């Protein structure tokens, strides 16, 4: 059976037929022919004819866009600054609208509605329903799925490596990091333990002596592999090794001098 209809948040509009195309601005010209007009959700207008892949006229992200329709005919006007694109149907034409979404890497089926899950712009989204799951920085989505909800699992490095469900309500990254890192290192300013503090499922390390001591550190996307001479841990990240304290004066060009570790 076909899956549910895609969630309609944006639409692509298509117009096709015998049209006059008038452009005023840098590429001023008037043309006529059987063309296809594509109107994207960001108000970009593209006019394609039978020759080649490049549009014969276009206006990117118009400030103003108006479309007048009557029966099977239409007139479209797009303006941006001093540039204006007009497309006028000279005869009855075809008009259609289609749902539009961002294209992403396919990840299987949504357990809630059965439509496709994709990864795009730092989150896992469903093309069929409103489900969306933000991914932590540096997360790798795995082929395995969660035993409880059926969503994809992800691998995240925050001092240690964790494999969790992409839905934080199923597996809390902050709780996992707290279980692993609470009290492992001491504050370099006052000697009190550093504990994991959670804000919006984005854990960081803060001094237990707060508010008397306000020392905090973001936790890099990487594993702790050694100790810096300053006493804080060294993380192996995608950009190289670094001290937990990004301002550590022993940190030089992505390498922490003198740090112990393999």
The Cα–Cα gap between 157 and 223 comes to: 6
* pLDDT exceeds 50 at position 17: yes
95 and 110 within one domain: no
Q: Considering the domain boundaries, does residue 177 fall inside one?
A: no
pLDDT digits (tens, 9 = 90+) for 146-193: 999 999 999 999 999 999 999 988 988 989 999 999 999 999 999 999
Q: Domain with 21 in it: what CATH number?
A: 2.70.180.20
Q: Which of 131, 151, 171 is the last residue of a domain?
A: 171
Q: Considering the domain boundaries, does residue 231 fall inside one?
A: yes
Q: Which of 171, 193, 216 is the last residue of a domain?
A: 171
Residues whose CB falls within 8 Å of the CB of residue 18, separated by 6 or more in sequence, listed in order: 32, 33, 34, 89, 90, 91, 93
Residues whose CB falls within 8 Å of the CB of residue 200, separated by 6 or more in sequence, listed in order: none
96 and 110 within one domain: no
Q: Considering the domain boundaries, does residue 176 fall inside one?
A: no
Average pLDDT, the chain: 87
Q: Considering the domain boundaries, does residue 149 fall inside one?
A: yes
* More confident: 142 or 128: 142
Q: Which of 80, 100, 120 is the last residue of a domain?
A: 100
54 and 18 within one domain: yes
What pLDDT shows up at residue 200?
A: 66
128 and 161 within one domain: yes
Average pLDDT on 76-100 reads: 92
Average pLDDT on 95-112 reads: 89
What pLDDT shows up at residue 5?
A: 42
46 and 91 within one domain: yes
pLDDT digits (tens, 9 = 90+) for 191-238: 999 999 887 667 889 999 999 999 999 999 999 998 898 889 999 998
Q: Cis link prior to 211 (omega < 30° from 0)? A: yes
pLDDT interval class at 1 (50, 70, 90): very low
Element housing 173 (H / E):
helix 173-181
The Cα–Cα gap between 117 and 132 comes to: 9
Range of the domain at 205: 182-256
* pLDDT exceeds 70 at position 257: no
Average pLDDT on 111-134 reads: 89
228 and 149 within one domain: no
Residues whose CB falls within 8 Å of the CB of residue 249, separated by 6 or more in sequence, listed in order: none
What pLDDT shows up at residue 201?
A: 67
pLDDT interval class at 129 (50, 70, 90): confident
Query: In the chain, what's the furthest Cα-to-Cα distance?
Result: 80
What pLDDT shows up at residue 11?
A: 87
96 and 22 within one domain: yes
The three-class DSSP label of residue 179 is helix
- Rg (C-alpha) for the chain, rounded Å, is 27
**Where does 92-178 show beta strands of DSSP type E?**
94-100, 105-109, 116-120, 123-126, 132-134, 140-145, 152-165
The three-class DSSP label of residue 180 is helix
Strands 64-70 and 152-165: unpaired
Q: Considering the domain boundaries, does residue 5 fall inside one?
A: no
**Total of domains in the chain:** 3
Burial bucket for residue 177 (CB in 10 Å: 0-12, 13-18, 19+): buried
């Amino acid at each position: 059976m076909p899956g549910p209809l895609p969630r309609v948040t944006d639409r692509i509009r298509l117009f096709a037929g015998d049209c006059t195309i008038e452009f005023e601005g840098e590429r001023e010209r008037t043309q006529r022919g059987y063309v296809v007009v594509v109107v994207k959700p960001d108000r970009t207008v593209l006019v394609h004819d039978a020759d080649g892949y490049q549009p014969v006229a276009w206006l990117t992200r118009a400030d103003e866009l108006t479309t007048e329709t009557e029966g099977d005919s239409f007139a479209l006007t797009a303006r941006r600054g001093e540039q204006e694109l007009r497309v006028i149907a000279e005869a009855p034409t075809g008009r259609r609208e289609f749902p539009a979404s961002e294209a992403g890497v396919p990840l299987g089926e949504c357990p809630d509605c059965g439509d496709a899950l994709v990864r795009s712009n730092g989150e896992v989204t469903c093309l069929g329903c409103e489900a969306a799951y933000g991914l932590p920085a540096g997360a790798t989505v795995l082929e395995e799925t969660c035993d409880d909800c059926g969503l994809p699992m992800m691998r995240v490095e925050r001092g240690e490596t964790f494999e969790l469900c992409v839905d934080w309500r199923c597996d809390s990254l902050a709780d996992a990091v707290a279980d692993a890192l609470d009290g492992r290192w001491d504050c370099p300013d006052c000697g009190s333990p550093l504990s994991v503090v959670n804000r919006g499922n984005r854990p960081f390390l803060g001094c237990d002596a707060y508010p008397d001591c306000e020392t905090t550190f973001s936790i890099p996307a990487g594993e702790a592999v050694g100790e810096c001479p300053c006493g804080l841990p060294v993380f192996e990240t995608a950009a190289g090794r670094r001290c937990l304290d990004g301002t550590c004066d022993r940190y030089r060009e992505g390498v922490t001098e003198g740090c112990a570790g393999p």
